[in-house]
Structure 1
Amino acid sequence: MQRNFLIKLCYDGSRYHGWQIQENALTVQQVFQEALGKITGLSEDIKACSRTDTGVHAREFCVSLKTESPIPPERLLAALNHYLPEDVAVRSVEQVPLDFHARYSCKGKEYVYQIWNHPVRDPFLRQRALHYWYPIDEALLDRAARHYVGRHDFSSFCTLDRREKGDLTRTVTKSQVTREGDMVLFTVAADGFLYNMVRIMVGTLLRVQQGKLAPEDIPGVLAAQDRRAAGPTAPAWGLYLNRVFY
């Protein structure tokens, strides 16, 4: 009898070229499938909630797995964690209806971008946060970030490639900048995200910090629907897929 599992992973993306299988590059999907194959010995039907890019991390990444293996969820969790490398872990495994799909059943996602705001770099945050040594006014950036909320065409905040076609409109439900000590956090939730969208949002916020844009300029950047109107793409290593909503 076929069953469908929802598997929630977390991983440090530092040494991986994102989630999706690639030729001649190590990916999270590759090590996950290798671990799964050692357990079930089957060619399983795996669907992921999204793709993450090279160097991006995930605190919650969801996979749906259809399998005819009789293994119970709790044993599958333990076995996967036994075979996975130390920078990838399974947080939970639960049986879900057969029509559940990790990508198409998803209602939205939340990302967090971490900026270490201190004159001295922290070696323990290497490849885990962007080091920005000039002072950051988090209240100023929060004012700017609020303009991202709503339903907009995010063409200005997208690196166009073959994966981005058609409607580039997305609905952002949460966008804020906060500070925890020397760590500045940009948190954004939406019904979907375009390629490099969050990283370009961060790069644009840093343009506001540098005085090259005002918070009130963000609506104009959105309206331009032109990648050149927004800021640079922030590095991947500060970005975390934080939550997936179903």
Structure 2
Amino acid sequence: MARYKAIISYDGTNYAGFQIQPNAVTIQEVIEKTLTRLNSGHPVVIHPSGRTDSGVHAQGQVIHFDLLGQRDAEKVRFALDTQTPADIQIKSTEIVPDDFHARYLATGKEYHYHVDMGKSRDPFKRLYSAHYRYDLDIDKMRRASKFIEGEHDFSVFCATGSAVEDKTRHVYEVLIEQTSDTDLLFIFKGNGFLYKMVRMLVGTLLKIGNGQLPEDAIQRALVHQDKKMTGPTAHPEGLCLIEVHYDGDKKSK
């Protein structure tokens, strides 16, 4: 057996998320079926750095898996990449020690969230940006975002259904950039994120920017675990997992 680490990219539009589930096509199912064929029919299970929801995208998701025997990593990448659908890309593969784990050894992640602020939804952005047509005070949102940074118990920003007990996370940096007249980009960097945490934070920041929540709503939500100070969960299509960090990476924090 040899263990492989792979960095993959995917358009999540046509998938019911990453994790295998009944009666739905998922990223995990598609990749595992391909790897099983490459592994002479012996079942292969892949382990991701984290699970993305239906409609969520990734540019730098990390997975690991085991194959019978040791093969050239680039040949594994090429075979997997050419036998998976066009909306899944295998960017790189490498052989790693047997104790490498894509999820448990991850030290940081970066997510981007795209918002289309046009009066009507741009059809060419609809799969990769959430549409928000209401007025926004971006400077107010930037000030509010600073309350997210640091180490906090983010339980109030975790959707129900999470099995994680420790909900304390350290968010290193939150940036909000207006990249065009109608495009807004949220950047989140941290040691980890809870189930739907980024989308809940974005939804709250949008409500703050529109004046429906006070500027200190996030601070009050975190201090008092007050759900009334949080906004709705932002739509999935705007979210993309950009990068996962590990000890030894140049950009790890």
Number of residue pairs matched? 244
The question of 1:174 aligning with 2:173 is answered: yes
User: For the Cα contact (< 8 Å) 1:164–1:195, is it kept in 2?
Assistant: no
User: What is the TM-score when the length of structure 1 is the normalising length?
Assistant: 0.94
User: For the Cα contact (< 8 Å) 1:150–1:172, is it kept in 2?
Assistant: yes
How far has the Cα of 1:127 moved from its partner? Answer: 2.1
**Identity within the alignment, %:** 38
- What's the CA shift string for 1:157-214, capped at 9, x where partnerless? 11122x3342221111111111111210111112121111111101100111111223
Residues of 1 paired with 2:126 and 2:52: CA distance? 19
Report the counterpart of residue 24 of structure 1 in structure 2: 23
Residues of 1 paired with 2:146 and 2:210: CA distance? 18
User: For the Cα contact (< 8 Å) 1:4–1:64, is it kept in 2?
Assistant: yes
Residues of 1 paired with 2:195 and 2:74: CA distance? 35
Q: SS at the partner of 1:164?
A: coil
How far has the Cα of 1:83 moved from its partner? Answer: 0.8
How far has the Cα of 1:224 moved from its partner? Answer: 2.0
RMSD over aligned CA atoms reads: 1.4
User: For the Cα contact (< 8 Å) 2:220–2:226, is it kept in 1?
Assistant: no
User: For the Cα contact (< 8 Å) 1:155–1:227, is it kept in 2?
Assistant: no
User: For the Cα contact (< 8 Å) 2:134–2:210, is it kept in 1?
Assistant: no
Report the counterpart of residue 94 of structure 2 in structure 1: 94
Q: SS at the partner of 1:125?
A: coil
Report the counterpart of residue 197 of structure 1 in structure 2: 197
Q: SS at the partner of 2:231?
A: coil
Residues of 2 paired with 1:12 and 1:158: CA distance? 24
Residues of 2 paired with 1:77 and 1:122: CA distance? 35
Matched AA of 1:53: D
Report the counterpart of residue 238 of structure 2 in structure 1: 238
Report the counterpart of residue 206 of structure 1 in structure 2: 206
- With 218-227 and 53-62 compared, the bigger mean Cα shift is at 218-227
Matched AA of 2:78: A
Report the counterpart of residue 137 of structure 2 in structure 1: 137
Residues of 1 paired with 2:91 and 2:15: CA distance? 19
Matched AA of 1:27: T
User: What is the TM-score when the length of structure 2 is the normalising length?
Assistant: 0.92
The within-5 A match list for 1:1-246 is: 2-41=1-40, 42-161=42-161, 163-181=162-180, 182-246=182-246
Report the counterpart of residue 249 of structure 2 in structure 1: none
Shift in CA distance, 19/36, structure 1 to aligned 2, threshold 3 Å? same
Residues of 2 paired with 1:95 and 1:153: CA distance? 36
Residues of 2 paired with 1:175 and 1:167: CA distance? 22
User: For the Cα contact (< 8 Å) 1:113–1:240, is it kept in 2?
Assistant: yes
Residues of 2 paired with 1:6 and 1:226: CA distance? 40
- What's the CA shift string for 1:53-92, capped at 9, x where partnerless? 1111111111111222333111111111111001111000
Structure 2: tracts of 5 or more residues without a match:
247-253
Q: SS at the partner of 2:212?
A: coil
Residues of 1 paired with 2:45 and 2:205: CA distance? 40
**Structure 1 segments of 4 or more deviating over 3 A?**
none
Residues of 2 paired with 1:20 and 1:228: CA distance? 31
Residues of 2 paired with 1:165 and 1:79: CA distance? 35
